[in-house]
């Protein structure tokens, strides 16, 4: 297994899906069984590689980067193919391979129109490359490449298979198809953010040359420089700002979130799941991996603003949920609130807060992934997402109803399920933020966040009331509804089990993250 430990294990995890996608392209469109088989084998093998990473990872040194490789890549600019995982990135890598597998399983008998399994599966696999790649990259150029790889497949996914309903844009009076509006908005927003992010990367690169003999894109070396106080003053301020724009769009943080409700709602089910479960985490992960270690002083200067935007996101997202009539859009807006808790944890710059953020990311991936699966399957059966027309689902599809109830309870942060830890620990961290941050302000954030948990419960229970309970409307009576099917079970049961397991036994994540986070905080901010 030496080859596996020397970075090839990670290479395998990241690039297997790419190989799978290439094979898919070679198979004719009509041979659907072959296409599905290849995609399934690929995603299974990738997930197995991810699990093998867990097996080979040395948890007693979870704070250190492991299983990596560092070889020259683009010599001209000193970019290196530097990858590796520590306790912070490993759970996210495993989550990515896990969700990809479930998405492929779910796709087995759920094909959005226009029918094109070949292209859809290829895009899912390419997305997987970008997602896992981002989590293992330790070079800014490599990170940027992976970060951008996800952009186009998702753009096509939304644009091709998205919702064809008409979206009326207020003020401007535009009327256009949802999928077109949403895909463009997603693309333009992310690109806008990425441009600034790249700018920040380049600035760090050039500035590193004034300190080191050679310029570097290496995240580890830049973090060491950052910890030593190399990046300060106006320079650091603007670089942090540029990175902030890039990452905050992806998270998304209020007020840069408006692409999200449209993209999540318009995307086909598997697209929504991948978006919510993984893509949003690229932004929050980047804050933890890049912004804080490389620019710790600026992180401390910006913390109050990040915290403020985070709690605005929590309250605002929850209130927007309460005004929704579209079930899928409600779930989409709920992500704004949940990611607000993740960012609140990060903004405290404490080990508790960042631990909370990471388990919050994983939990949100599992739970919101499940919610989007359910919303997709229900919309497929009812041909509507309008909660005014739905109702009495417990009578028509009891198993689906129970699962929706479970997912809603998990999403509102029921203790002993995965979502609780991220929420509660983020609030806890807010009471005692990093020394030097204004505790009074953060305690205010804590109270606002606690109010947010109440609002979250409010809209989730309201959704259950409208969708699950009551008598079914006349239009559904006498119609046949198929309750949860085989491939739905295969895709969802693991999410349910993982949600309970993480809730009852949070060491599954904290056991990896805690050492790494403590080390990161110590390196960035001292003792």
Among 95-103, 202-210, 216-224, 282-290, the segment contacting another protein (CB under 8 A): 202-210
CA-to-CA distance for 206 and 226, rounded, in angstroms? 14
For another protein, the binding residue among 6, 72, 206, 497 (CB under 8 A) is 206
Residues 124-153 close enough to bind another protein by CB under 8 A: none
Binding mask 90-129 for another protein (x = CB under 8 A): ------------------------x-x-------------
Cβ(358)–Cβ(349) below 8 Å: no
Residues 383-402 close enough to bind another protein by CB under 8 A: 392, 394-395
Among 77-85, 98-106, 290-298, 350-358, the segment contacting another protein (CB under 8 A): 350-358
For another protein, the binding residue among 424, 442, 476, 492 (CB under 8 A) is 424
Q: Between β-strands 66-74 and 166-169, what pairing exists: parallel, antiparallel or unpaired?
A: unpaired
Give one DSSP letter per residue of 46-112, joined into a string: HHHHHHHHHHHS-GGGTTS-EEEEEEEEEGGGTEEEEEEE-TTTHHHHHHHHHHHHHHHHHHTT--P
Using rule CB under 8 A, residue 310 touches another protein: no
CA-to-CA distance for 289 and 517, rounded, in angstroms? 10
CB neighbours of residue 441 within 10 Å = 15
Using rule CB under 8 A, residue 54 touches another protein: yes
User: What would the 3-class secondary structure string for 321-338 be?
Assistant: HHCCCEHHHHHHHHHHHH
Among 126-134, 338-346, 379-387, 421-429, the segment contacting another protein (CB under 8 A): 421-429
Report the nearest approach of another protein to the CB of residue 156 (Å): 7
CA-to-CA distance for 249 and 283, rounded, in angstroms? 8
Using rule CB under 8 A, residue 5 touches another protein: no
Report the nearest approach of another protein to the CB of residue 458 (Å): 6
Using rule CB under 8 A, residue 309 touches another protein: no
Residues 161-200 close enough to bind another protein by CB under 8 A: 161, 164, 169-172, 174, 176-177, 179-181, 183-185, 187-189, 191-192, 195-196, 198-199
Based on CB atoms, which residue is closest to another protein, 189 or 217?
189
Nearest to 247 by CA among 192, 205, 318, 297: 192
What Cα–Cα distance (Å) separates residue 509 from each residue in 320, 337, 345, 368, 501?
Answer: 31, 22, 16, 18, 10
CA-to-CA distance for 127 and 278, rounded, in angstroms? 10
CB neighbours of 27 closer than 8 A, spacing ≥ 6? 34, 35, 38, 118
Binding mask 233-272 for another protein (x = CB under 8 A): ----------------------x--x--x-----------
Among 68-76, 133-141, 338-346, 460-468, the segment contacting another protein (CB under 8 A): 460-468
Using rule CB under 8 A, residue 441 touches another protein: no
Nearest to 518 by CA among 402, 366, 349: 349
For another protein, the binding residue among 40, 145, 414, 441 (CB under 8 A) is 414
For another protein, the binding residue among 514, 516, 524, 525 (CB under 8 A) is 514
Using rule CB under 8 A, residue 425 touches another protein: yes
Report the nearest approach of another protein to the CB of residue 206 (Å): 5
Using rule CB under 8 A, residue 382 touches another protein: no
For another protein, the binding residue among 7, 84, 159, 433 (CB under 8 A) is 159
Cβ(334)–Cβ(300) below 8 Å: no
Among 13-21, 125-133, 139-147, 504-512, the segment contacting another protein (CB under 8 A): 504-512
For another protein, the binding residue among 10, 18, 62, 467 (CB under 8 A) is 62
* Both tokens assigned to 425: 């620990």
Which residues is 116 bridged to in the sheet?
A: none
Nearest to 105 by CA among 327, 275, 273, 276: 273
What Cα–Cα distance (Å) separates residue 343 from each residue in 74, 115, 134, 218, 412?
Answer: 34, 38, 19, 25, 17
CA-to-CA distance for 413 and 78, rounded, in angstroms? 45
Angle between helices 9-26 and 90-107 in degrees, nearest 10: 20
For another protein, the binding residue among 91, 226, 296, 506 (CB under 8 A) is 506
Report the nearest approach of another protein to the CB of residue 41 (Å): 25
Based on CB atoms, which residue is closest to another protein, 324 or 377?
324
Say what the alpha-carbon torsion angle 317, 325, 455, 510 is, to the nearest 10 degrees.
Answer: -60
For another protein, the binding residue among 42, 43, 269, 355 (CB under 8 A) is 355
Using rule CB under 8 A, residue 60 touches another protein: yes
Using rule CB under 8 A, residue 57 touches another protein: yes
Which residues is 71 bridged to in the sheet?
A: 81
Using rule CB under 8 A, residue 465 touches another protein: yes
Using rule CB under 8 A, residue 507 touches another protein: yes
With contacts defined by CB under 8 A, how many residues of the chain interact with another protein? 95
């Amino acid at each position: 297994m030496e080859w596996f430990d020397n970075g090839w294990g990670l290479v395998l995890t990241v690039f297997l899906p790419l190989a799978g996608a290439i094979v898919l392209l070679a198979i004719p469109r009509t041979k659907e069984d072959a296409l599905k088989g290849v995609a399934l084998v690929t995603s299974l093998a990738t997930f197995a590689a991810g699990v093998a990473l867990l097996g080979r990872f040395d948890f007693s040194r979870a704070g250190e980067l492991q299983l990596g490789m560092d070889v020259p890549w683009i010599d001209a600019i000193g970019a290196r193919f530097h990858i590796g995982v520590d306790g912070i990135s490993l759970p996210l890598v495993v989550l990515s391979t896990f969700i990809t597998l479930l998405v492929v399983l779910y796709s087995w008998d759920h094909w959005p129109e226009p029918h094109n399994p070949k292209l859809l599966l290829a895009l899912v696999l390419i997305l997987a490359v970008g997602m896992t790649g981002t989590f293992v990259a330790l070079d800014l150029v490599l990170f940027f490449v992976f970060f951008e790889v996800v952009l186009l497949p998702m753009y096509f996914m939304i644009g091709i298979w998205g919702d064809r309903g008409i979206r009326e844009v207020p003020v401007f009076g535009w009327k256009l198809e949802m999928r077109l509006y949403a895909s463009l908005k997603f693309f333009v927003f992310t690109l806008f953010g990425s441009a600034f992010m790249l700018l920040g990367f380049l600035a760090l690169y050039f500035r590193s040359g004034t300190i080191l003999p050679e310029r570097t894109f290496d995240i580890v070396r830049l973090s060491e420089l950052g910890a030593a106080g190399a990046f300060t003053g106006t320079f650091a301020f603007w670089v942090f700002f540029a990175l902030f724009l890039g990452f905050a769009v992806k998270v998304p943080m209020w007020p840069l979130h408006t692409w999200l409700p449209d993209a999540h709602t318009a995307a086909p089910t598997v697209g929504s799941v991948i978006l919510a479960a993984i893509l949003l985490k690229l932004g929050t992960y980047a804050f933890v991996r890049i912004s804080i270690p490389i620019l710790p002083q600026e992180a401390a200067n910006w913390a109050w603003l990040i915290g403020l935007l985070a709690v605005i996101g929590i309250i605002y997202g929850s209130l927007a949920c309460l005004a929704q009539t579209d079930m899928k859009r409600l779930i989409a807006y709920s992500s704004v609130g949940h990611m607000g808790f993740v960012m609140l944890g990060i903004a405290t710059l404490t080990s508790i807060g960042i631990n909370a953020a990471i388990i919050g990311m994983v939990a949100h991936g599992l739970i919101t992934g499940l919610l989007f699966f359910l919303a997709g399957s229900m919309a497929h059966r009812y041909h509507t997402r309008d909660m005014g027309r739905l109702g009495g689902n417990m009578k028509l599809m009891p198993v689906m109803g129970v699962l929706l109830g479970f997912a809603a309870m998990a999403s509102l942060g029921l203790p002993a399920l995965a979502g609780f830890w991220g929420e509660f620990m983020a609030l806890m961290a807010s009471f005692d933020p990093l020394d030097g941050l204004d505790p009074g302000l953060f305690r205010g954030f804590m109270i606002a966040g606690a109010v947010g948990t109440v609002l979250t419960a409010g809209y989730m229970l309201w959704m259950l009331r409208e969708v699950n309970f009551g008598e079914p409307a006349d239009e559904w009576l006498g119609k046949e509804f198929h309750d949860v099917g085989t491939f739905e079970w295969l895709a969802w049961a693991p999410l349910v089990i993982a949600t309970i397991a993480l809730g009852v036994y949070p060491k599954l994540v904290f056991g990896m993250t805690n050492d790494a986070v403590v080390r990161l905080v110590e390196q960035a901010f001292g003792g």
